[in-house]
Amino acid sequence: MDTKESYAVVTGASQGLGKAFAENLAQKKINVILVSLPNQNLEDLSRSLEELYDIKTHYYETDLSVNENVMKLTEWLNRSFDIHILINNAGLGGTKRFTEATPDYINRILQVNVTATSLITHQLLPNLLKQPRAYILNVSSMAAFSPIGFKTVYPASKTFIHSFSRGLHEELKDTSVFVSVVNPGAMKTNTDVCKRIEKQGFLGRMTLLNPDKVASYSIHQLFKKDSVIMVNPLSWLLMKILPIWIKLPLMTQAIKREIEA
């Protein structure tokens, strides 16, 4: 594929898995457009990727929990660039008793995880369909395969992403756009996250992943046209084997330990 004048878009690109996606694409000499919240050092990352890998980069800072911002972003992208890869990585998690969650907390998770992903995909799809070959990768989660107490909204939002991706894959299978979904577990994005996950006990520690490895494997499988990417086969097997009446209380207890700690 000639990628000299076309771009990959990565949302949530300033840190963690999103940053790892951007770096992995840059290593493959693919131009990237980085999208993230303001004040996340996105300009520095953009400049360093250009210098290290001799590619073109652009960046766009915005809050994807606001629909108007999403529309402005996609208008700018469609007006300015040919896009052949879209990685919908931006997402919000959160661990909280539902009774203690504010309406804003609930709304932000749904807006970023569900609405922004759907709208960005919808608005950029005509651009992607113009390319000889194009890819969409949506980041779901292992949480998509079980409800979890004390998280409630987050797993439900990731179930949506998984279902949305599978449906869109089927709808677009006879076009030039290939759609995939990746379902990672918790990742070693920073020290705080590692400590928090380890408080969940064995179940949490078993699923803790390295973002660089997840990004590398996911992009490799995306280009191999793997429509459902599982980066942790052991935890996936457990999720498949364990009935809901076992895994739901197990996972809820792990999250409860995290809250109490």
- Catalytic residue, candidates 59, 154, 217, 247: 154
**Residue 83, amino acid:** I
- CA distances to 11, 65, 124, 145 from 91, rounded to whole Å, are 9, 10, 18, 17
Q: Tell me whether residue 210 is exposed, middle or buried, using C-beta atoms within 10 angstroms of its C-beta: 0 to 12, 13 to 18, 19 or more.
A: middle
Q: Which helix (H) or strand (E) holds 118?
A: helix 117-129
The H-or-E segment that residue 258 falls in is: helix 244-260
130 is catalytic: no
Side chain identity, residue 75: E
**Is 158 labeled as catalytic in the residue annotation?**
yes
Q: How far apart are CA 177 and CA 167, in angstroms?
A: 13
Among residues 158, 173, 188, 256, the one annotated as catalytic is: 158
Q: What is each CA distance from 237 to 160, 178, 234, 242, 244, in whole angstroms?
A: 21, 26, 5, 8, 14
Return d(Cα 258, Cα 24) in angstroms, integer.
32
Residues forming the active site = 154, 158
